[in-house]
Amino acid sequence: APVKFLSFEPLLSGIKLELEEAGITWVIVGQVTPIKKATMPNKIWIDEIIKASENVGIPYFLKNNLKSIMGDNLVQQFPKGVDLDH
């Protein structure tokens, strides 16, 4: 497949990512739907995934249900070559 992705949804705990050797081309992060305060991810966990993705140049997509945690920093990137118009 041209796009190999990891989806952390729901993100229920912190994780250690080693993306460089995994062949991953996209990372998606979200929380439990419907949103429940008891299962809301910690911003530090999200920031760690973002940092790991940025360190190796992998685009990441933060789902809209993270808006209450990330505010205006809700980055929604897509892998190169993905055509969303079709």
Q: pLDDT tens digits for 35-59?
A: 777 778 999 999 999 999 999 999 9
pTM for the model: 0.88
At residue 83, does pLDDT exceed 70? no
- Kind plus residue range of the DSSP H or E element containing 43: helix 43-56
Check residue 85 and report its DSSP letter. T
Residue type, 27: V
Query: Encoding tokens for residue 65?
Result: 């249900």
